[in-house]
Structure 1
Amino acid sequence: MKLKKIIVTGAGGGLGTAICERSAKEGFGIIAIDINADSLKSLDHLPDIETKILDISNYNEVQSFFTQLKEDESIVALVNNAGIYNALSLLEYDEEMMDTLLNVNIKGPTICSKFFIQHLQANNRKGKIINISSISGQEGSSDALYGLSKAAIIGLTKSLALRFSPTVLVNAIAPTMIETKMMEKIPEWRKEEYQAHHLIKEPITAKDVANTVHFLLSDESSHFTGATFDLNNGGYLR
């Protein structure tokens, strides 16, 4: 049986690593993408893994990457995980910082999704896109740029699901605060205040997100598309 492969962006970060590890455990081959070469080294121990240094916000780079994969019919899913969080007020952003965050958090997943869907269509295959959003995209964030970017990912999820069914099933995961390197920028008092509103007190980990990704990769999720999975301990109810 031919090995099924998934593409994971931001693979070298804490959440990306957890997704890659769980997916490898379940027998998937992984194409791990990150802009940081050093962070990808932490994935070398995984079986059936290919690593690629790539700026997902660079249209030409992403196009070239998928051109190299055009004959590979084993690719079944794209996990848009890469993202930037600065923990800043809108008033602290200059134009360059705005462009960088929006390019990575919105433009990047959009470009990757475009070429992944084209790849599926060219090979007459079906697949899945899993977008990592955030509770900040639902209830807002003190970092306005981050909040709006994650809200945009939920909108992208719905729009792609609507337009490209049945070629691709597209879903999003909106986690609450997770203990990763990205979250180290948040003061401890703010984390405690945030978690005080959770109905379930056990902290959500990167492994919990990876477990949700696994569900969406599995055949058990075959009737979900355009959905956002709220992984937030009941901290935001809708």
Structure 2
Amino acid sequence: MEKSSTIKKDLPLTEAVALISGAGGPMGAAIAKRLAADGASLGLIDISGRRLTATAEEIQNDFPNIKVCTVRANATDKDETNAAIKEIVEALGPVTTLINVVGGIRGGELVTPLLGMTEERFDSTFALNLKPLFWMVQAIAPGMVASKKGAIVNISSVTFAGDGDQPEYAAAKAAVSSLTRSLAIELAPDVRVNCIVPGLIQTSVIENAAPKMVKDYTNRSLLKRLGQPEDIAGAVSFLVGPDSNFITGAALPVSGGIPASL
């Protein structure tokens, strides 16, 4: 019997070179594993070399025929990002699929109302959620346009509708959603750009979240559970694959039924 790890010619992404930022975290790793299962070659970037190595080793154990190139880099640093992209392109060829996962809130409290927020907190949240996307798209999208093919997926959040506990994070994710639509217009018709709008996902963030926050999200969900990283990975697989060829500029909620709109 043929092993599941063997690449089949009819897999949807056998010709794709996918670059995933934040590939060492739970969400990024799940996306990397799913795209490997779809047949894509993988360029993986993460600020943690340890987490990045763990993701790559698991993929190579499960899918030994998949090409994987890992580069430890801080995606908020333009020079590090560009150097990482150059190394990945040299190893795998031009990037055809870009997944911008890096984002979130750096350290400290997840919940900080605006009136008690420092300027440093405000600036760092915007930098973490927007600068990596900016650097990645500027470096990779021109090649996609030149080749007249490509797919980009950004990660937003249901908080973009507004959140009194995480106002700067909500605003940053609203910007991600807006930039997605702007890029879809700018890069049309050859490059498709979409974003996923997750609810609360079971990642390391939950470890620092107040129990009440987790309970509130669970209660708001029509499915009465938190999302799993694999839920996001499945949506990414759809948005970069052939079944979504007529979808661009969209914000796809993966939120258990929590509304995702302003």
Q: TM-score, normalised by structure 1?
A: 0.91
Q: Does 1:206 align with 2:229?
A: yes
Please identify, of 56-65 and 109-118, the stretch whose mean Cα deviation from structure 2 is larger.
56-65
Give 1:46's aligned residue.
59
Give 1:120's aligned residue.
144
Q: Does 1:144 align with 2:167?
A: yes
**d(CA) in 2 for partners of 1:116, 1:27:** 21
Contact 1:110–1:156 at 8 Å: present in 2 too?
no
Residues 51-102 of structure 1: CA distance to partner in whole angstroms, max 9, x if unpaired?
A: 1111222222223333445565452110000112251313454333333222
Residues 154-180 of structure 1: CA distance to partner in whole angstroms, max 9, x if unpaired?
A: 011000001111231000000100110
Q: Does 1:188 align with 2:211?
A: yes
Contact 1:70–1:119 at 8 Å: present in 2 too?
no
Question: Which amino acid is 1:46 matched to?
Answer: I
Number of residue pairs aligned between Structure 1 and Structure 2:
237
Please identify, of 135-144 and 8-17, the stretch whose mean Cα deviation from structure 2 is larger.
135-144
Q: Does 1:130 align with 2:145?
A: no
- 1:183 shift after superposition: 2.5
**d(CA) in 2 for partners of 1:110, 1:141:** 26
Query: Identity over the aligned pairs, expressed in percent?
Result: 28
Structure 1: gaps of 5 or more residues: none
Q: Does 1:60 align with 2:79?
A: yes
**d(CA) in 2 for partners of 1:11, 1:74:** 19
Contact 2:97–2:150 at 8 Å: present in 1 too?
yes
Residues 7-63 of structure 1: CA distance to partner in whole angstroms, max 9, x if unpaired?
A: 000110110111011111111111111111111121122132211111222222223
Q: How do 1:20-39 residues align onto structure 2 when only pairs under 5 Å count? A: 20-39=32-51
**d(CA) in 2 for partners of 1:17, 1:70:** 20
Give 1:16's aligned residue.
28
Task: Give the direction of change, closer, same or farther, for the CA distance of 1:102–1:139 in structure 2 (3 Å limit).
Answer: closer
Please identify, of 99-108 and 9-18, the stretch whose mean Cα deviation from structure 2 is larger.
99-108
Please identify, of 56-65 and 92-101, the stretch whose mean Cα deviation from structure 2 is larger.
92-101
Contact 1:73–1:125 at 8 Å: present in 2 too?
no
- 1:198 shift after superposition: 1.9
- 1:194 shift after superposition: 2.1
Question: Which amino acid is 2:40 matched to?
Answer: F
Residues 174-212 of structure 1: CA distance to partner in whole angstroms, max 9, x if unpaired?
A: 010011002322112221122212222243211011000
Contact 1:197–1:235 at 8 Å: present in 2 too?
yes
Query: What do you get for the CA RMSD once the two structures are aligned?
Result: 2.0
**d(CA) in 2 for partners of 1:5, 1:223:** 21
Task: Give the direction of change, closer, same or farther, for the CA distance of 1:226–1:218 in structure 2 (3 Å limit).
Answer: same
SS at match of 1:12: coil
Residues 122-155 of structure 1: CA distance to partner in whole angstroms, max 9, x if unpaired?
A: 5x24101000111011243511121111111001
1:97 to 121, 131, 134: 121
SS at match of 1:172: strand
**d(CA) in 2 for partners of 1:65, 1:231:** 30
Give 1:217's aligned residue.
240
Give 2:101's aligned residue.
81
Give 2:131's aligned residue.
107
